[in-house]
Amino acid sequence: DTGVSQDPRHKITKRGQNVTFRCDPISEHNRLYWYRQTLGQGPEFLTYFQNEAQLEKSRLLSDRFSAERPKGSFSTLEIQRTEQGDSAMYLCASSLGLAGVLGDTQYFGPGTRLTVL
């Protein structure tokens, strides 16, 4: 069990550029979640997948954001035409997706810190 991994760990980009982040969940975890965390705040839910199906998207996820999990394994989060307000830590988490608190516990990756200049 290697834990949830995210790549890159840090990304600096200029306003208007597109960026893509990758998340590799714990193997055999069916659910994958994306959260955004701004400095000094708790994480906020963005979207989640059950296997390859994207089941819910937050209102925070504007049209410039898109997430995929094509084969039910890793996931990508793309932000198009980045804005300074997109600067944040993007966290990925995964869970087994089974009934019960053990199956529903989410384990987090180290995050990707995005800075938009």
Partner 1 sequence: AQTVTQSQPEMSVQEAETVTLSCTYDTSESDYYLFWYKQPPSRQMILVIRQEAYKQQNATENRFSVNFQKAAKSFSLKISDSQLGDAAMYFCAYTPKAAGNKLTFGGGTRVLVKP
- Residues in contact with partner 1 by the rule CB under 8 A: 31, 33, 35, 40-45, 48, 50, 55-56, 91, 93, 95, 97, 101, 104-111
For partner 1, give the closer residue by CB, 31 or 86.
31
Distance of CA 39 to the CA centre of its chain: 17
Strand order in the sheet with 65-68: 5-7, 19-24, 75-79, 65-68
As beta bridge partners, residue 79 has: 19, 65
Residue 101: CB minimum distance to partner 1, A: 5
For partner 1, give the closer residue by CB, 18 or 38.
38
Round to the nearest angstrom and report the end-to-end CA distance of the chain.
Answer: 36
Residue 58: CB minimum distance to partner 1, A: 8
For partner 1, give the closer residue by CB, 19 or 91.
91
Residue 63: CB minimum distance to partner 1, A: 20
Q: Of the candidates 73, 76, 67, 70, which has an alpha carbon nearest to the alpha carbon of residue 46?
A: 67
